[in-house]
């Protein structure tokens, strides 16, 4: 796999995880985005604020500066100070835009450039995979909270319970082909 193929696949994976967050946020009433199980727990809003802070720090000047920026104040990302869905969505979109812009800057010419996070050298693939794992972890928390909040009104973001056989029949009825596993998932989420 060359750098271009890797970046294209990673872009699709990040897009897929963003879509899971988008679809969760759409299903939750505004006031419930700020609900916390207890004072030590994170709300969906706090998780989004943390993702935004991490994305801005890690992906701003991705190839030229340490991923833990001096201007980042990580501890404040866990403070409950966002008050509106609009403000929350602005941070969500801003963080993802920073990430996707940085991904576009990576090509065959700079793919072997070292990247630093807290003074630890990473290859580009290590740095990207680290963030993919981190973001999918928190988006999983967002989805879990969304399912709890929406309860019976929750619309499944993957294969609904009891529908695996039907899903697999459809997948295996097609001939073997090369595709990214998220292609149909992302296309279905756009509808």
d(C-alpha 127, C-alpha 106), whole Å: 12
% pLDDT > 90, the chain: 82
pLDDT band, very low/low/confident/very high, at 187 (cuts 50, 70, 90): low
Give the chain's largest Cα–Cα span.
53
Tell me the pTM: 0.91
Confidence at residue 189, expressed as pLDDT on a 0 to 100 scale: 45
Cα dihedral 72, 16, 33, 86 sign: positive
Confidence at residue 185, expressed as pLDDT on a 0 to 100 scale: 67
What mean pLDDT comes out for the span 36-41?
93
Q: Residue 2 phi/psi, 5° resolution?
A: -95, 175
- DSSP letter at 155? P
């Amino acid at each position: 796999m060359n750098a271009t193929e890797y970046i294209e696949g990673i872009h699709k994976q990040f897009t897929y995880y963003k879509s899971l967050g988008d679809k969760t946020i759409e299903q939750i009433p505004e006031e419930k985005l700020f609900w916390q199980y207890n004072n030590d727990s994170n709300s969906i809003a706090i998780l989004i604020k943390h993702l935004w802070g991490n994305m801005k720090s890690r992906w701003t000047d991705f190839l030229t500066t340490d991923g833990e920026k001096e201007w980042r104040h990580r501890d404040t990302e866990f403070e409950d100070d966002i008050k509106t869905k609009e403000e929350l969505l602005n941070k969500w979109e801003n963080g993802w835009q920073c990430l996707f812009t940085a991904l576009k800057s990576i090509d065959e010419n700079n793919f072997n450039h070292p990247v630093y996070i807290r003074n630890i050298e990473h290859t580009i693939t290590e740095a990207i995979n680290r963030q993919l794992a981190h973001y999918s972890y928190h988006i999983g928390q967002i989805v879990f909270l969304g399912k709890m909040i929406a309860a019976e009104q929750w619309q499944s973001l993957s294969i609904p319970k009891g529908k695996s056989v039907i899903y697999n029949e459809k997948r295996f009825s097609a001939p073997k082909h090369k595709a990214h596993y998220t292609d149909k998932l992302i296309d279905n989420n756009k509808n």
